Structure formats: structure tokens, C-alpha cells
Structure 1
Amino acid sequence: MARPDRLMRLLDTIRRLPQPVTAARLAEEMEVSERTLYRDIETLRSGGALIDGAAGVGYTLTEDPALPPQMFSRIEVEALVLGLSEVRLAGDPELARAAELALAKITATLPERVQRQAIHAVNHVYRMERRPPAPAHMAILREAAWEERAVNLTYQDLDGERTERRIWPLGIVFLDRTMMCLAWCCLRQDFRRFHLGAMENVRLSEESFRPRRVPLLRDFIDKMRARTNDTPSV
């Protein structure tokens, strides 16, 4: 790993872990020796990061030069903590990890008083009944929507019938107990809602539908609003 990339990863690691974090823990997370870790800490300090602590004591990031200063009201802090906590519970591993890192980055930009409010937030998320784990192909669908690329898959409908589909993924919706992909179905030549759990053998194709995702998604949402009681069969 290039040293600039390692230094950015080290900043992310200090943000994420409970502070003060020991050099031994940081070295383990970074997969480097403690000697290398000490040198990297000094490099970050030279670059403007205010990192309190020393070897044998632990380190605390008190000011982060990589992030702009931000100010949130107390209720905004609560909303951020609550929302990102929900993503950590509901998302696939990649999305859950992103939520954890995002919260750490946001918290690192806050003044000390507001940081304490974020760390000791009043609102929390707990699910007595957990959703089924997010399927691994959720990441493929997300990538396809970002890149506006068609996806091939096998789909099992409500009657148990399997069909081969090519879809244009437009967005993913989190419902109470399931997740659905809003998409244009090339087989049906219409908008459809696909249960992620009913998808198999999901794979990216080379077909691009750029730049149609945003207008198609807008049209799909408008149609759903106009037909709130109509659920088309897929």
C-alpha cells in the first residue's frame, strides 16, 4: 500500500476506534509494525493533525485536517447517529461498514462539546426481530445503479416460477422485512419491483443504460404514487 493511502487509512482507523486507542491496536489494524505506526503518527502530526497521546498511553484525534469543520444542532446529531445506526443494522457488510466510517468522520469534525453529544446520543436502534441478512448481490445491484449498467439474473416470482431477466436497476428500497429493487424489466418492457431475496445468479452485463436512471426512477416513483394500491406482478 502506498504511504499516502496508508496515512489516510490510519486517520480513518483512529476516527473509527474508541479513543484513546493504543499503538498496539492501531498497528494490528493497519498490519504494520509499531515502529512504522509511530513514524506514521508523527507524519500525520506534521501534516496538521492534532493527535494527543504517546506510546504506551494511547492516541486521541482532537482535530482532523482532512475534514472540514461542521456544526450540527443537538437534534441533528441525534438524527445522524440514529440514521447511521439503522444502516449498520440493515445494510449489507459494505454498506454497514460505510455507515460506521461516515459516523466516525462526521464526529471527528465536530467541536468537543458536540462530539460528546454524538458519542452519548439519547436515541438508539435495537431490533428484537432482526431482518434477514442483506444478500451478497445487493452490492452488485448498487454498483449497477451507480454505473447505469444492466444486470442479468434468475428471478423466482410469487408463484414460484423462475425466469431469466435483464433489468436496469434504478434504486433499492428498504421495507420493514425485505428489500426491493426498483428497476426497468427488459423482459416485461415495464417498471417492476423485485424482491432481493428472490434473485439468484446476479451478474453485471456490459449493456449501459446511461443516462436514463434518474428520469426513469422519477417516472417509476410518480407511477407508484398514482397507483398506491396496485402491485404489478413480476
Structure 2
Amino acid sequence: MRRADRLFQIIQILRRSTRPVTAGEIARELEVSQRTVYRDVADLIAQRVPIQGEAGFGYILDDAFDMPPLMLTPDEIEAAVLGAQWVAGRGDAVLANAARDLIAKITSVVPERLRPFIADPAIAARPSRTPVPDGIDLARTREWIREGRKIRIDYRDERGDHSLRVIWPVIVGFFDEKRMLAAWCELRQDFRHFRADRVITAEFLDERFDSRPATLRQRWKRHLAEKHAAHATA
């Protein structure tokens, strides 16, 4: 790895971490010695990169630090291409188009030497089968998730029974052939997961639910963790 690339990777490691990162951890990821990491960090600090910390404690990068966002490595480009391939084949129509636009934008701004990693990547997502049609507008559902608004749905369960529910949408899960909507269900007073193809009708309400979207998502994650823990001990 070139030294310039290594310095960039140190910044990336610090940028993605929410806690101090030790020189040993950086050294293991980059496959270099800790002495090299100490020297590189000192050079970055000398170049006015706002890194705080010291040997033995760990390093953190100031949140205010910014750098050109498209200084991508070949691995990062292929990761983006792979993700976009998957979304283009399995996402709803709006997301699929966004994935294609993403690749076009990356292609237009990366240096010429990196474009073969986009045009002829060494990876590929498995071709998708035709997904089951959704009964709810997932693009609008994502907007309602971000805005913290309720949705009223007529839902048909696996037995074919219908029920009217008002839900607080949390997150949309994408699988190979179907999509799943996690939500707080006012009828059941609990979190439930609804298959998008089993939604008969959906009314997008103006009413907001009494929780911030991020807080509701954290509650859902705790619910899943508790449910998995219960199953593990059963």
C-alpha cells in the first residue's frame, strides 16, 4: 500500500469509529507495524488533520473534519457497485433508479484509472427473480418513516384473514423476492412485521406518531434482541 493511501485509510478508520482507536487496531487492519502508525499519525497531525489522542489511549478524529468524499479506493468502488447491483434488482422502482443514478455519478467523478472497476467489476450480485408485487407504495412508505407519520393498512395474513390496522412504520426490509415492513401496530400494541405483498390498501395519514423515528427504531431493535435472546434460552 502506498503511503498516501495508508494515510487516507487511517483517516477513514478514525472517521467510521465512535470510540478511540488504538495504534494496534489500526496496525492490524493495515497490516503494518505500530511504529509506522505512530509516524503516520504524527505526519497527519503535522498536516493539520484534527486527530486527538496519544499512544496507549487511542486516537479520535474531530467531527468537524471534512475531506473530498469521493477519494475512493478500488475496494470501496466495488462495494458500491455490488450494493447498487443488488438494489437495482431487488429494490422498489424509485430505489432501483437511484442505484443506477448512483453508479452513473460515481463513474463521472472518479479518475479514469478507477473506471474499469465500475465498468468491469470483479464482483456481481446474483440475478434476482421477479419480486412479488407490493401492495403498498414503498417509496412513499420510506418518506413516512423519515417524517414519523402513521399509515392505515388493510392487511391479509398468511391464513387469508383481513384486519384494519394503524401502524407506525419503522423500517423496510428487502429480500430476494419480497419486502417486509416493520412497524408498531396500534391494534396489537406491539411491534409487528408485515409483508408488503399482503397489504391490500394503504392510506398515508398526516398524523404523526408520538415518538421520534430514531427512537422508535431503537425500541424495535431492542424488541428484536429480546426476542432472539428469549428463543436462545428456550
* C-alpha contact 1:154 1:163 (8 A) present in aligned 2: yes
TM-score, structure 1 normalization:
0.64
126-135 or 219-228, larger mean C-alpha shift: 126-135
Structure 1 residues 97 and 149, CA, compared in 2 at 3 Å: closer, same or farther? same
CA shift at 1:216, angstroms? 1.1
State the Cα RMSD in Å. Answer: 2.2
What's 2:192 paired with? 192
CA shift at 1:118, angstroms? 1.4
CA shift at 1:178, angstroms? 2.1
What's 2:222 paired with? 222
Identity of aligned residues (%): 32
Matches within 5 A, 1:83-94: 83-94=83-94
Match of 1:185, as an amino acid? C
Q: Does 1:146 align with 2:107?
A: no
What's 1:183 paired with? 183
Residue segments in structure 1 that go unaligned for 5+ positions in a row: 1-67
Structure 1 residues 80 and 135, CA, compared in 2 at 3 Å: closer, same or farther? farther
What's 1:161 paired with? 161
Residue segments in structure 2 that go unaligned for 5+ positions in a row: 1-67
Q: Deviations over 1:163-211 (max 9, x none)?
A: 1111111110113432111111111111111111111211211211265
Q: 3-state SS of the aligned residue for 1:227?
A: helix
Structure 1 residues 134 and 168, CA, compared in 2 at 3 Å: closer, same or farther? same
CA shift at 1:125, angstroms? 2.1
What's 1:43 paired with? none
Structure 1 residues 211 and 115, CA, compared in 2 at 3 Å: closer, same or farther? farther
* C-alpha contact 2:78 2:123 (8 A) present in aligned 1: yes
TM-score, structure 2 normalization:
0.64
What's 2:203 paired with? 203
Distance 2:128 2:69 in 1: 37
93-102 or 125-134, larger mean C-alpha shift: 125-134
Distance 1:225 1:136 in 2: 27
Distance 1:88 1:128 in 2: 9
Q: 3-state SS of the aligned residue for 1:126?
A: coil
Structure 1 residues 76 and 183, CA, compared in 2 at 3 Å: closer, same or farther? same
Matches within 5 A, 1:25-40: none
* C-alpha contact 1:151 1:169 (8 A) present in aligned 2: yes
Q: Deviations over 1:32-91 (max 9, x none)?
A: xxxxxxxxxxxxxxxxxxxxxxxxxxxxxxxxxxxx672211111111101001000001
Q: 3-state SS of the aligned residue for 1:182?
A: strand
Structure 1 residues 185 and 136, CA, compared in 2 at 3 Å: closer, same or farther? closer
Q: How many pairs are equivalent?
A: 164
Match of 1:94, as an amino acid? V
